[in-house]
Amino acid sequence: MTETTDDTLFSGRLTLRQARRGHRAGTDAVLLAAAMPTDATGLAIDAGAASGAAGLMLAMRAPALTVDLVEIDAEETARAAHNIAANGLAQRMRAIHADLLASEAARESAGLRKEAAQIIITNPPFLREGAARLSPDPARARAHALPEDGLERWCRTLAWLAAPDAQLAMIHRADALPEILQALDGRFGALAVRPVHPRADAQASRVLIKARKASRAPLRLLPPLILHGANGDFTPEAAALHAGEGTAMCD
C-alpha cells in the first residue's frame, strides 16, 4: 500500500489523506475550486480528482452543490472516499472509480451519466505517454499521463458529462494552452483565460481556464494571478484563495 500523510487545507477546515510521494494537492486544486461561484447548484464533477482536494474544496465553498470525485486510480479513489467521510460530506459527495477515456458504455457502467453535470472542474494529467518516465504499474501510469490524443479525448468526455450551458474550469501547464484551445473548440466557448505566475517577474507556469458548454461568446484574456511576492510569501490574493476566500476568476 502507498504511504500516506494526513494534511489540512483551507486554514485547517479541510483534512486530506494523500500519498506521501507523487501528486500532492496544492495551489492547482485551490484555484480550480475558486473558479466556480459559491452559489452554484446541481451536480459538480471533479474529473481526474486524485484524492479529491479540488472537489472537496468546491463542496465546502458551494454548499448547495453535490459533487462527484471521478478518478481512474483505485487507491486514489479509496482515499477520496475516505476524505469525503472524514470531512463530513458523505450526504452530498461520492467517489467514482472510472476511466474518463473509456467508452461511453464503460463510463455509464461506472456510474457516470451523459449531460448530468452543471459544473465540471478538471486538472488533467500533465504528462504525455512516451515523453516521461512513468510508473511500471499500468493503472498508475494511466492516472498520470495521457496518450498522444488524450487531451482531445478528455475534453470530448467533459462535453459528454456537461449539461447544456454547464460551466467548466480547467488548470494546466501554460505551454499547453494551444492544445487546450484546440480540444475545447466546438465544445465549450466563452473562454476566460487567466495566466498564473509564480512571481511578478516570472513567466506564467499555469493557465486557469473557465468556459461554458456550447457558448459562442469570444475568448477573454484576464489579468494575471501572481502567487508570490518578492519575499516568497503568498500575495494577498493568493493567500485569500488558499484560505477559501474570494474568487480566482476576476471576470
Pairing mode, strands 145-146 and 206-213 = unpaired
Q: For residue range 125-149, list pLDDT tens digits in order.
A: 877 654 455 555 554 555 567 888 8
Count CB neighbours of 109 within 10 A.
Answer: 11
Stretch 76-105: mean pLDDT:
97
- Is the confidence at residue 25, as pLDDT, over 90? no
Cell numbers found for residue 106: 464503460
Q: For residue range 194-249, list pLDDT tens digits in order.
A: 999 999 999 999 999 999 999 999 999 999 999 999 999 999 999 999 999 999 99
Q: Which range, of 3-12, 86-95, 154-163, 229-238, averages the lowest pLDDT?
A: 3-12
- Is the confidence at residue 124, as pLDDT, over 90? yes
Closest to 100 measured CA to CA, from 168, 31, 157: 157
Q: How far apart are CA 234 and CA 199, in angstroms?
A: 9
Q: How far apart are CA 128 and CA 145, in angstroms?
A: 5
Q: Where are the domains of the chain?
A: 26-242
Q: What is the pLDDT of residue 144?
A: 66
Q: How far apart are CA 189 and CA 211, in angstroms?
A: 6
Q: How far apart are CA 80 and CA 171, in angstroms?
A: 20
First-residue to last-residue Cα distance in the chain: 43
- The better pLDDT of the pair 168, 19 is held by 168
Q: Which CATH number fits domain 26-242: 3.40.50.150, 3.10.180.10, 3.40.190.10, 3.40.50.2000?
A: 3.40.50.150
Q: How far apart are CA 50 and CA 57, in angstroms?
A: 13
Q: What is the pLDDT of residue 126?
A: 76
Q: How far apart are CA 148 and CA 230, in angstroms?
A: 38
Q: What is the pLDDT of residue 142?
A: 55
Q: How far apart are CA 251 and CA 247, in angstroms?
A: 9
Q: What is the pLDDT of residue 2?
A: 81
Q: What is the largest CA-CA distance in the chain?
A: 52
- The rounded radius of gyration (Å) of the Cα atoms in the chain is 17
Q: Which range, of 89-93, 118-122, 133-137, averages the lowest pLDDT?
A: 133-137
Q: Which helix (H) or strand (E) holds 146?
A: strand 145-146
Q: Which range, of 22-31, 56-65, 74-83, averages the lowest pLDDT?
A: 22-31
pTM assigned to the model: 0.93
